[in-house]
Structure 1
Amino acid sequence: MKDDKDSLSMLGIELATEMDKITRNFKLGFGSFVDKTVMPYVSTVPQKLVEPCSECAAPYGFKNALSLNRDASIFAEKVQQAPVSGNLDAPEGGFDAIMQAIVCQEQIKWRQEARRLLLFSTDAGFHYAGDGKLGGIVKPNDGECHLNEQGEYTHSVLQDYPSVSQINQVAKQHKINLIFAVTREQSSVYSRLAQMIEGSSQGELTQNSSNVVQLVKDEYAKITSKVELKDNATSPVIIKYFSKCKGTTEKATSECKGLRVGDQVEFRAEITVDKCPEDPSEWNQVIGIYPVGLRESLIIDLEMICDCPCERPGDEGYEVASDECSGHGTYQCGVCDCDKGYLGSRCECGSSTPWGVGGSFDDSSCRQTNTSAICSGRGTCTCGECKCNERENPDERVEGAFCECTNFLCNRFNGQLCGGPDHGECVCNKCQCKPGWTGDDCMCEDSKDQCMNPQTGEECSGQGVCECNQCKCNEGKEGRYSGKYCEDCPICKGKCLPYKPCVQCQVFKTGELTPEECLDNCTLFNSTIVDDLVEEEGERLCTFFDENDCRFKFVYGYDEDKEPVVRVQRVLECPPELDLLGIILGVIGAIVAVGLALLFMWKVLTTIHDRREYARFEKERMMAKWDTGENPIFKQATSTFKNPMYGGGK
């Protein structure tokens, strides 16, 4: 996997960048595995235990190299530094790594409320429970965390590999979504494995794993766009699910696909008990219904009434051939158990009545359709007619020829039937809404007032549709729009530029808007001034410079009502004021100082040069062969004197 490791290292930052487009709070971690360091999984030859292959590190079970961290560069560095090793047989100890990565919550630093993804990448098969016997390891895997301070799995050679059911159990318990990213040769094996582990999926890697980023994005999209309900109910409890996915009609399914952020789905569960368990300890059960991969759940405390004293002979509530049952049945626990050949709530119908044909009872007149339940499951068929059950609450009624209508089985909003008496009333299992309200549960205001953008006057800013007097935003080319009026797109260019003029005029009294224009145009939000500006989750940071080159910062987000919330840093970050006179004098002084320094250097250099020339002259003069005290070419001048008084003579 050396080439795959190098590729993953280079793609680490790209992976973080792509995931940032989906969620702004994304963290990466990294760990690696080989296999148990005993025969026959790895070679125990001393040299092979040190270097199992050329330029390979010593084999190991599992190492957590990096706990979950926001810095993608550290992830890339840790992946690059991860040692490449080798084992002896074809399968690897990947199950040990998966188990430790899931159960070691503190060491891996899993966050409680985050969606958890575990990407498992390999080009080989896996060992599972029972394979440890080949190496003399018979102690079953305990499913506990065994990482030391260095992140090394300490029980690799002490206990067996986990089983598939153990991996499935801890994945469900800790709400981990597993993604198996494997090569083509292993694709079919891990595809079947993904079907056995709840909340997992499988994707195929290219030869050097260069498509891992796209694979993670695709698999993450599949996971986050689907909501599937699961439960831990056991026989004889049976739970059937019905769902309304994105406003569609109700279907018998436990999952909804193709969902996006903001979509609403409804699930309805029907719980039935086929028979009472033989063991009385199983008559009380606690059942959990939960969405796969999420940490929410619905807990149901189910009590089965399987044994009543009044069902036994001798009890005062047990009476054979009772008058309450027309003498044709046993009255027990307030209900008639009719003798053979009789039926009805009081055993008043027998084979001699017109309802009985050929010694059997014809109940077709009590069914609304051939496939529907007798009296819609809300009454008893008495001599060919439905007798609807009475409710404990006198305000709740069951009506209709087939007991098909109720005034209590309509949709509820905020816990109230049809949104309460002010919104609507329940008529034959359907809500009849009062004027001003609409929807299946009368929860929607029949108006579009809250969908009109006050600044533009457009319905949902032209980026969505108005449903229930609330905007349902569209998804454009740049991203999905959000906000009360679909005026914002978190991964688009954002609202920094449109909000800038209003922030300037509201907080700093500067900018292009006059005070009057500010009051007229800046009505969408009121800026909140804070001393220390910290960007929180769901907010976007905006930074600008004003006309004085002062930098100001603000963040914007949305409250529970989808109204924009803007927080502005109180202090402007302005450049220091310039002392022009000081700068000019300083420049002049610097020029003068530089000139003097240059002159001084020139003087020093010329002095040194002259001295060197004079020394060379002196040296040459000392070496001359003539008398240095007299110039050899000098001739004494000849002087001629004449006496003017001398006339010459003999």
Structure 2
Amino acid sequence: MAPWLCISAVILLMAGEDVLSKEECPKTVVTSCKDCIRTGPFCAWCKKLNFTKQGEPDATRCDTTEALRSRGCENDDIVSPASSYTKLSDRPLSRGSGQNEDPVQLQPQAVRLNLRPGKPVSLRFRFRRVEDYPVDLYYLMDLSYSMKDDLENVKSLGKDLMKALGQITKRARIGFGSFVDKVALPFTNTNPAKVQKPCPEDERVCQPAFGYQHVLSLTDQAEEFNQIVSMQSISGNLDSPEGGLDAIMQAAVCGNKIGWGDSTRLLVFATDDGFHMAGDGKLAAILEPNDGQCHLDKSIYSKSSEMDYPSVGQLAQKLAENNIQPIFAVTQNVAPVYQKLKEMIPKSEVGVLSKNSDNVVRLIETAYKSLSSNVIVTHENLPEDIKVTYTSNCENGGVPGPRGVCNNVGIGKEVEFVVTVTADKCTKEQSFQIGPLGFREKMNITVVTECECVCRDPLNKNDPACGGQGQVTCGTCVCNKDFVGQRCECRMGDKNERDLREACRFNNGSVCSNLGDCVCGLCQCHAGEDGRNIYGRFCECDDRSCPLHHNRLCGGNGKCDCGKCLCHQGYDGEACDCKKSDEACRKGTSVCSGRGNCTCNICHCLPGYKRPFCEECPGCPSPCGKIASCVECLGFNSGPLKENCNSMCSKVKHKVVEALTDKKPCRWKRSDNCWMIYSVKELDGIDNYDVTIQKKLECPKPPDLAAIIGGSFAGVALIGLLLLLILKGIIHMKDLKEFRRFENEKKKAKWTNADNPLFKTATTTVQNPNFSGD
């Protein structure tokens, strides 16, 4: 998808988010057009004369545009200020070199916004970096003793820096400043001797302790840079963190003394240690907060020991206000600390120095390319009641956010952003600026809120529409002195007050039905607390006391007027619940399948048939038997209706086929026991059928006597065999049972194993005691 298609979709979603979800006009106390449009972004006012009914309050003129249209207010009579913008300065972007006196990198340059509170307006602006745009580089160096070797390399840095910057632009300038820390305990040894020489004793050249000093204003002379910096010497302090934030603050806000020009402003911050920040000054009893102002006195920060360190947020704000982009050139040991600082300071970079800073030029080149190719668009001096979001045509730029971001933007490449501005409430004329961080060009935006009605009424103080006693203002009458009423129809003091109040009673009831005020004999109805519009001669009517259908007043198809529904065209009924159409009853050309009536666009079917189209009758008997006689006479020219088949079966269409494909056809037996096979489809109307008849009947075959006899004999033989087998089995089981019983009895007989004491054997054995057996 094209980038601008994505952006356009986002703009539509942003600008019309509420429209897509729900447009509403809150019901509040409204007495004029001005009150109305201040109530909400979707409130509009109808200035049409005679728009309100008798007694109806003027607050009913205030509603959404769509609601007013539905009540008869024409577009020309609807007052609803829209948000818009006008370009005040729109010079084209420069295409040539940045050596022009006043190159244009941002378009447009000034815009006036007319904002309706709550309704955003979106405008596009373009940015393109020009070639040879001037660059100012201010080198701010830590001169604590640990940076001694680094200082020696920086002393000859001028030519290399100018040569590197010359590859970027022909208009480059460099400057120099240095810092250590506050000259106060516990940051610096305050012994007078140590203040004068805070370095070790063996160090010959050492300058006194100091906080921040500006050494060289921005110049295009590299030799001057080398000469001035070569005269610098090292200094020292006690603790590890340095007063770097003090130095950055003064370098940022002392623009005239530093010499910042209309250029890309770079501040190179070189150190090998961390930094003190707001609150640390309390350690030295320094309680006064940093005021963010310039305090350079003879190039020395004069408030170093009187004001606390600035906070990171305060520093980030001042850097952004002065379009300064810091490059933190730090050693490896503190790089993580400055990476965190980079996250809090937009348009900043971190580079890692070598041990003696001999890579500082290459580091600055790399950081500058990264900074200059990343375009971050944001705002300054934004009023409290104004909101701003950005989208861009860059990669991942289609999501609205608090900043517009485009990366990898080369010189001469054009990028576009969409700014969406919303006012929360009516305010006086205010202005703010939008532009890319690090560049001096800003688009000035003037915001004017649209909170007044412009109705262009005729200047007639005695307008006939107001009874000749008032002036029409946005559809309502502003009466002359002593005249009252919606049309200035009553003059105060003309009638007795009691008679006037009686004129506001209906059948001696309460005055104006307790829903309004009696003004000069006429009821002026109140606005209902629940959003009802109350009107009528005696405030007896409203637009809510009507029947509901589907929980909607008048079914959503009509307008409630004094308790009765005035239906829209095509609807009828007490609650406009009856649609004058048979569209929902129609299937093809048939209405309710010819078995019902269509009323209110709903089929009312004959008993048994079901909606929506009266096609099916779940409880009705099958038509198979109902048309069997017609099937027999139409398909086979037989049966009881054979003689008058055409007249009795005139509503039955039929055809005869060789075989049916219907899986569950009708089957019906004729008088000759043959089965008729057919399928039935019920047509629109009553007793209308379409029948498909199978040509061949299914008749039962005659009995096979041989098979019956053979089968009977075989069956008898089989039964006899089975009986014999069963009998044999019974006898066998009985014998087996008797045998087992005999065996058991036999085991119980003990006399078979016992010796008879009366029994003597027929022989006697005598043993010779002397016989040894050998």
Scaled to the shorter chain, the TM-score interval is: 0.3 to 0.5
TM-score by length of 1: 0.46
Larger Rg: 2
Q: Could you tell me the TM-score, scaled by structure 2's length?
A: 0.39
